[in-house]
């Protein structure tokens, strides 16, 4: 298993994926704890581990533990895809999850983040997301896909992407209506090597 491979220092990636959402219940606690213990064995000098979290329910305590280990261990890439975030009251909510993400983004070894199919539904939470993303000094690759036009516009206007070399804003139904968001992004970002804008509602006026 990935946990045992991590413990022996031979695992490059860990995937926690469900075809349908798996809720957070007592039966999963031992498995989460085993995963977190295995992170203690991540090789601090290797290329770093890739962590995939897809279609998984993450309550605040699990998110806190995930982000703690991302911050303090050699984890180079984290993918959050189609997750469900639960606050301390047992209600759906992203505020706590985004705050914990901010701790993970303080890692000097975290280079790549995916935040996909996790649309943020209120302005305050989206503002917090742009703030924590802006605080990262190491991140240089971001995939922000399937989160919607409003979220993507807020990201483009609220985050300095001048050090990023890969940006993926695909499949967001993005429309800038002739504003210069995309040309300004390219002009202000000399390191940019790849910019993905597939499945958006852009036209020649946006170029």
Element (H, E) at 2: helix 2-7
Mean of per-residue pLDDT scores for the chain: 89
What is the value of pTM for the model shown?
0.91
Q: Is the dihedral of CA 90, 95, 98, 99 positive or negative?
A: negative
pLDDT score of 2: 53
pLDDT at 4 exceeding the cut of 60: no
With cut-offs at 50, 70 and 90, classify the pLDDT of residue 152. Answer: very high
By the 8 A CB rule, do 72 and 99 touch?
A: no
pLDDT of residue 165: 97
Examine the pLDDT at 149 and tell me if it is beyond 80. Answer: yes
pLDDT band at 48 (very low <50, low <70, confident <90, very high): very high
For residues 207 and 126, give the distance between their C-alpha atoms in angstroms, rounded to a whole number: 26
Q: Which phi and psi angles does 56 have, rounded to 5°? A: -120, 140
Taking only the tens place, the pLDDT of each residue in 111-144 is: 999 999 999 999 999 999 999 999 999 999 999 9
pLDDT of res. 20: 52
For residue 25, what pLDDT is reported? 57
Res 159 pLDDT > 90: yes
pLDDT band at 106 (very low <50, low <70, confident <90, very high): very high
- Dist. CA 58–CA 97, nearest whole Å: 8
Separation between Cα atoms, residue 137 and residue 193, nearest integer Å:
18
> Beta strands of the chain (E only): which ranges?
13-22, 49-59, 75-81, 84-86, 112-116, 141-145, 166-168, 194-196
């Amino acid at each position: 298993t990935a946990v045992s491979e991590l413990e022996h220092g031979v695992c490059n990636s860990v995937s926690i994926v469900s075809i349908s959402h798996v809720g957070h219940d007592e039966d999963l606690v031992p498995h989460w704890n085993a995963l977190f213990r295995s992170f203690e064995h991540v090789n601090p000098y290797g290329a770093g581990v890739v962590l995939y979290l897809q279609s998984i329910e993450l309550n605040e305590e699990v998110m806190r533990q995930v982000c703690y280990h991302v911050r303090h261990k050699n984890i180079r890439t984290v993918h959050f895809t189609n997750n469900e975030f639960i606050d301390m009251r047992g209600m759906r909510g992203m505020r706590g999850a985004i705050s914990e993400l901010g701790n993970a983004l303080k890692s000097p070894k975290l280079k790549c983040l995916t935040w996909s199919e996790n649309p943020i539904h209120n302005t305050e939470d989206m503002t917090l997301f742009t703030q924590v993303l802006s605080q990262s000094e190491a991140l240089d690759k971001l995939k922000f896909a399937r989160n919607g036009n409003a979220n993507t516009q807020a990201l483009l206007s609220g985050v300095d992407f001048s050090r990023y070399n890969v940006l993926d804003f695909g499949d967001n139904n993005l429309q800038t209506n002739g504003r210069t968001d995309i040309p300004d992004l390219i002009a202000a970002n000399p390191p940019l090597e790849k910019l993905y804008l597939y499945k958006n509602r852009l036209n020649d006026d946006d170029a």
